Amino acid sequence: MSAENGHPESNGRAHDARAALGPQEARAVFRGGHSGPTTGWAPGHTQANLVSVPADWAYDMLLFCQRNPKPCPVLDVTDAGSWTTPLAPDADLRTDLPRYRVWADGDLVDEPTDVLAHWREDLVSFLIGCSFTFEWALSAAGVPLRHVDQGRNVAMYVTDRQCREAGRLRGPMVVSMRPVPPRDLAAAIRETSLLPAVHGAPVHCGDPGGLGIADLSEPDFGDPVTAEPDDIPVFWTCGVTPQAAVMASRPPFAITHAPGQMFVTDARDEQYRVA
């Protein structure tokens, strides 16, 4: 059973293989058709969420991100029609993510491993900070990453907290959850607070009902993660939030990453650390 499906016997080997790759090598693997969560890939290099919208929706998306900077921290915005970014100059945003989502009028219509057939010359792409980026800091501080150990995607949930509206865009905040032992909670908060460009400190710790989440075993995106008995569920804002806005606001067209299957950049994680 593969590590991506949570089979423990292969988790260690799979993690070692992807951790040995640099960002260019990782993108080449994805360009070749491999799909799956990117947690643990090319450690030390920043990962980013992707959302591409038609140019006449780009200001709304930029304003939405500006008004909701914690779930939507912008790392780069492309020119209309461009599929390149200085975050990885040799990369192609149309082919170099493991899996994409294609949206029409807010409905999911395709989940391909490249979007060459769907690309439009009027698309403006937003690269948004991802919490996978701060996982190196958590690991360095000794905070366990249960989803990585279990070979799973991180668990993500739609909350009852509404983002601030911007033009035609509206929608709920999405969060990712990592179970944290009580002894490591202070370290988890401290280390992630130093990385605001990739969501920063948690927005909630403890009872998931405080975010309107009814059942941690049924995430809206990603995989359920098994916690240890004393673990505290800790919630960070998530870059899937723009996808929730696409679903709620129904722009005529959009392309996003598949949740947990990120764009691996050449940028180094530590360059986003504020201290």
Q: Which amino acid is at 251?
A: P
The average pLDDT across 163-179 equals: 98
Say whether both 254 and 142 belong to one domain: no
Say whether both 233 and 256 belong to one domain: no
CATH of the domain at 8: 3.40.1640.10
CATH of the domain at 166: 3.30.2040.10
Say whether both 57 and 150 belong to one domain: no
Say whether both 126 and 110 belong to one domain: yes
Say whether both 138 and 254 belong to one domain: no
Cβ atoms within 10 Å, residue 68: 22
Say whether both 119 and 141 belong to one domain: no
Say whether both 17 and 110 belong to one domain: yes
- Number of domains the chain is built from: 2
pLDDT beyond 80 at 275: no
Say whether both 159 and 185 belong to one domain: yes
Say whether both 8 and 121 belong to one domain: yes
Cβ atoms within 10 Å, residue 56: 13
Say whether both 116 and 180 belong to one domain: no
Say whether both 140 and 14 belong to one domain: no
pLDDT digits (tens, 9 = 90+) for 18-76: 778 999 999 999 999 999 999 889 988 999 999 999 999 999 999 999 999 999 999 99
Q: Is residue 242 part of a domain?
A: no
* Structural domain range at position 52: 3-130+247-272
pLDDT beyond 60 at 8: no
**Mean pLDDT (the chain, rounded):** 93
The average pLDDT across 168-189 equals: 98
Say whether both 104 and 139 belong to one domain: no
